[in-house]
Structure 1
Amino acid sequence: MHVLIAGGGVGGLCLAQGLRRAGISCAVYERSPGLTPGGYLLHMNADGGNGLRACLPDDLYDLYVRTSRPTPRRDVLVIQNHLGHELAVKPHLGPSNDPVTPHTTVHRRALCQIMLHGIEDRVRFGREVVGYRSTADGVTIELDNGELAHGDVLVAADGINSAVRRQFLPDVETAVLVRDVLLSRSPLTPAVERALPDAFQDSFVITVDPAGTLMAAGLFRPRHPFTAEMPVDAVEDYVSVSVEPAAAGIDIFAASGPELHDVMRKAVTDWHPGLQQLVDGVLPDTIMPKTTRMVLPTDPWSPGNVTVLGDAIHAMPPMLGDGANSALRDAASLTTALSDAARGYTDLSVAVGRYEEAMRARTYPLLREAMTVADA
C-alpha cells in the first residue's frame, strides 16, 4: 500500500510517522516551502498525547514530552475581565492528561519539527495537491506544477481550505466566526511575568472587556531547555497573544506589523497594566492577521480510497483547544485503519468507513456546540 497525504501540518506529519512505524509507504505533499517559521501554542490533552504515542517512535515521543510546558498550577481555561478579575474557570475539552508524564502545552513549530524528524525523505515541500482522479486501481493526484503521482489511498490533511476536500465533498461548508484576529508572541521576561494577573500561572487565559475585545493568551516555557542536539529550533520563553479587537479600524490583511501592533495596543488601552505591558512587548514581526472559521458538519459520505483528516473536515474554533488533539487522534485512528487494510484484515472501504464514522462521532458534537455558541 502507498498512501498519498495532502498537507504536511500537525495531522499529516503525525499520520506519516504512524504509517512509517506500521511499515506502510507514504508521501506527503505540502504547499509551503518548508515548516512555517512562526509557531504558537497548542494545548494538548490525552487524545493528542495518545495519538503521538501511537504514531511516533519512543525517542521522538519522549522529546515531545521534554519540550512541552510544565504542568501549570491549574490545567484549566480561566476567563477574566480586562482588569484581571477572574470571572469563571472551565475545564479543557477532552480527556485528562497523562498522570505519569503530564504534557499540557507545546510550541507548534517544535512539535512539527519533531514529527518531521526521520521522515524528511517522505515529505515534499513546495508542492500542493490541486486535484485527483480516483478509480478502482487507486488514486492519481495532480500537483500545482502539473506533476502526477499515484497511490492506493489519498488523505486530505491540507487544512480548512483543502482542495482535496472541495473535490471530494463539494457540499461541505465553512463559516466565519471572527473576521479580525491578530495572532502574536510576546517575550516572557521576568518583568512581564511579575506584572501579569495571577491567572497566567494557570493553563490558558481569556480576557474580555465591555467593548467586545477579547484576548486569549498562554505562557510557554519548556520543561527542559532546547539544546543543539534536539531536532528543533531554539525558542525563548514567550506568551502567545491572540487579540480579537472590537473594532480594528483598518484592513488588517493590508496593514504592516507596526500598524497591527498599534491596533493591539489601542484595543487594551484601559486594561490591567500587566496586560498592557504584555501587548506592548509583542514582537511586530510575529503578528499574523487571520479570520477564524470553522467547518460545518455534513451528512455521512460513502467511504473509499479518498478520506479526510483534521482541519480539512472538522476545523473548529481555537478557543476549544481541541483542533490539534483531534487531528492527532485522527492520525492514529487512520493509521490503524490503513494498517488493517494493508494486512488484509478488512477491506479498504470498510476500514476507512470505520475511521470516518468514529471521527464524525467525536468531532461533530463539538462543531455543533461551537455553532450554538456562535449563534447565541
Structure 2
Amino acid sequence: MRVAVVGGLALGAGLRRGGYEVSVFDRDIDVSATGGYHITLDERAQSALERLVDPAIMRRLRASGSALRLRDRDALWDRRGRVLGYGPDLTGSASIDVDRITLRTLLAEAVGDDLHLGRAVSGAGRDELGRPRVVFTDGSSVAADLVVGADGTHSVIARHLAQGPTNRPAGIIGFSGRTRRADLSSDEQQRLGERSTMGIGPRGTALYVGFLDPVGNAALDAPELRMSITTGPTYIWGAMFPDTAGTQSLRDLCGTRLRAALLDRYRAHQWSDRTLEVIARANPSSVASFRFNAASTRATDLAPWNASDITALGDAVHATPPTAGMGAGIAIQDAADLITQLDAVVGGTTTITDAVGSFESRMRQRGSEALTTAMKTVRLILWTDTALGATATRIITPLLATTARFRR
C-alpha cells in the first residue's frame, strides 16, 4: 500500500517502520525552523509514539524530555502574583515536556529518505485512474492508495474534504517566548519555582508560564543521548489577550518592540511588575505570536465527510487550543490508530474505506474530549472579558488568595 502524507512526521515514521510505501511532504525546508516552545506528551501519547518509532529514538526523546514527576505542583495565581490554588500532585505522572524542535528532529530522522521538504501542497483530487492524489503549488502531483492530511490548523487536505474550514478563531491571540530561569531575580525564581503556572486577570488577560528543564529534570538519565535545545532551567511563557483589532495589531511587531508592547498591555490592566518579569527578561528573538483556533467540541461535527481513501488527522481535523497541552499528543494517537486500522487492510480483512471509517469514528471522539478540556480554560479567560466577569475577577481573586494563604 502506498500512502502520501502531507505534514505528519509521526504518521510517516510509523508507516515507514510498519513497512508501508510512504512519502511525507512538508512545506518547510528545515524541520527545526519552528517555534521554540514545548510539547507535553502524556502516557497515552508516549505509548502511541512507541508504536511509531524505534526504541532507540524513544530513549533519545526521553533523555531529552523534562519529567513532570520531578516538578512542583502547578499553581494558579492572580495578576498581583498571589497564589489562588495548586494543581494535583505530579509525583506519579509519566508525562514529559519536550522541545518542539527536538521532537520534530527525531521524527524527521525516523521518516528518513521518505521525507520530502519544501513541497507546498495546493490541493487534493484524483488522477485519470481514480486514485487519490496530492497536488503541489508547482503544478506537479503524486498519486497513492491513500492520502492523509496532517497539515495542521489550516490544512489544505481537510479543507478539500470538508469543502470549507474545519475550525475557526477561538477568540484569543497568544504570544510566546522563552526566559532563562537564571535571568530572573531571586525573588521571582522562588515565586515561580520549578513548576508551570497560570495567571488570570480581568478583561481576558492571562499568562501561562511553563517550566522546562530537560537536564536537571531529565525523564531518562542518559546525558550521552540528550539532544534538547533547552540546556538549562527555562520558562516558556504564553501571554493571552482577547482577539481584537488592537491585539491583532501587535502581531505586526517583533523582538524588543513586541515584548515592550506586551508589557504595556498587561500594565494597562494593572498587572504587577513582578508577574511580568518573566516577559521583561525574555530573549527578544524568541517572542512570537499566534492565533488560537478551535474546532467544534462536538464529536459529530469533526471530520464531516464520508470515509474514503482521502482522510486527515490531528489539528487538521480537531484543531485544539494550547490551553490543555494535548494537541500534539492527540495527533500522535491519531497516527498510531490509523496505522492499526490500515494493518487490517494489509491483512486482507477489510477495505481502505472501512478502515478509514473506523479510524475517523475513533478520532472524532478523541478530538472531542481534548477540545472540551481545552475550551474550558479558553471560555474562562473570555468570561473575564465581560463586565460581570471582570468585576467578579477583581472581587473573587483576592478572596481566593487569602484562603490559599491560610491553607498554607
| TM-score calculated relative to the size of structure 2 | 0.80
Mapped to 1, the partners of 2:88 and 2:327 lie a distance apart of 16
The equivalent position to 1:343 in structure 2, one of 329, 340, 347, is 347
Residues 119-170 of structure 1 show CA distances to partners (whole Å, capped at 9, x for unaligned) of 2311111112211213775212111111111111011100110111111112
The equivalent position to 2:250 in structure 1, one of 220, 237, 252, is 252
Mapped to 2, the partners of 1:149 and 1:316 lie a distance apart of 30
Residue 13 of structure 1 aligns with an amino acid whose one-letter code is L
Residue 57 (structure 1) aligned with residue 50 (structure 2): no
Residue 113 (structure 1) aligned with residue 105 (structure 2): yes
Residue 18 (structure 1) aligned with residue 14 (structure 2): yes
Q: 1:123 to 1:285 in 2, by over 3 A?
A: same
Aligned pairs, number = 366
Which secondary structure does the structure 2 equivalent of 1:84 belong to? coil
* Cα pair 1:341 1:351 within 8 Å, conserved: yes
* Cα pair 2:45 2:332 within 8 Å, conserved: yes
The structure with the greater share of residues assigned to helix is 2
Residue 122 of structure 1 aligns with an amino acid whose one-letter code is D
Mapped to 1, the partners of 2:153 and 2:184 lie a distance apart of 38
The equivalent position to 1:216 in structure 2, one of 203, 208, 212, is 208
Shift of 1:302: 1.6
Which secondary structure does the structure 2 equivalent of 1:181 belong to? strand
Shift of 1:350: 1.2
Residues 224-256 of structure 1 show CA distances to partners (whole Å, capped at 9, x for unaligned) of 799786666565542111112468667122113
Mapped to 1, the partners of 2:329 and 2:141 lie a distance apart of 32
Q: 1:4 to 1:314 in 2, by over 3 A?
A: same
* Cα pair 1:28 1:124 within 8 Å, conserved: yes
1:306 aligned residue: 310
The equivalent position to 1:262 in structure 2, one of 256, 260, 263, is 260
Shift of 1:19: 0.7
Mapped to 1, the partners of 2:91 and 2:79 lie a distance apart of 30
Mapped to 1, the partners of 2:173 and 2:264 lie a distance apart of 15
Mapped to 2, the partners of 1:14 and 1:193 lie a distance apart of 40
Mapped to 1, the partners of 2:372 and 2:52 lie a distance apart of 29
Mapped to 2, the partners of 1:352 and 1:188 lie a distance apart of 46
Q: 1:62 to 1:130 in 2, by over 3 A?
A: same
2:393 aligned residue: none
Mapped to 2, the partners of 1:193 and 1:50 lie a distance apart of 39
Mapped to 2, the partners of 1:29 and 1:205 lie a distance apart of 37
Mapped to 1, the partners of 2:340 and 2:210 lie a distance apart of 34
* Cα pair 1:159 1:311 within 8 Å, conserved: yes
Mapped to 1, the partners of 2:76 and 2:371 lie a distance apart of 21
1:238 aligned residue: 234
| TM-score calculated relative to the size of structure 1 | 0.87
Mapped to 2, the partners of 1:29 and 1:243 lie a distance apart of 32
* Cα pair 1:226 1:234 within 8 Å, conserved: no
* Cα pair 2:177 2:283 within 8 Å, conserved: yes
Shift of 1:14: 0.9
Gaps of 5+ in 2: 384-408
1:1-376 superposed matches below 5 A: 1-7=1-7, 12-35=8-31, 36-72=33-69, 77-90=74-87, 102-134=94-126, 137-189=130-182, 191-192=184-185, 195-196=188-189, 198=191, 200-202=193-195, 204-222=196-214, 223=218, 233=229, 235-245=231-241, 251-269=249-267, 271=271, 274-296=274-296, 297=298, 298=301, 300-368=304-372, 374=379
Deviates more, 1:79-88 or 1:148-157: 79-88
Which secondary structure does the structure 2 equivalent of 1:251 belong to? helix
Which secondary structure does the structure 2 equivalent of 1:159 belong to? coil
Which secondary structure does the structure 2 equivalent of 1:112 belong to? helix
* Cα pair 1:15 1:332 within 8 Å, conserved: yes
Mapped to 1, the partners of 2:291 and 2:132 lie a distance apart of 33
Runs of 4+ in 1 over 6 A off after TM superposition: 96-99, 224-229
* Cα pair 2:61 2:103 within 8 Å, conserved: yes
Gaps of 5+ in 1: none
Shift of 1:110: 0.4
Shift of 1:314: 0.4
Residue 56 of structure 1 aligns with an amino acid whose one-letter code is V
Residues 261-315 of structure 1 show CA distances to partners (whole Å, capped at 9, x for unaligned) of 1022224445455533211111111111111111225265321101111000001
Which secondary structure does the structure 2 equivalent of 1:244 belong to? strand
* Cα pair 1:78 1:86 within 8 Å, conserved: yes
* Cα pair 1:84 1:197 within 8 Å, conserved: no
* Cα pair 1:310 1:327 within 8 Å, conserved: yes
Which secondary structure does the structure 1 equivalent of 2:307 belong to? coil
Residue 289 of structure 2 aligns with an amino acid whose one-letter code is P
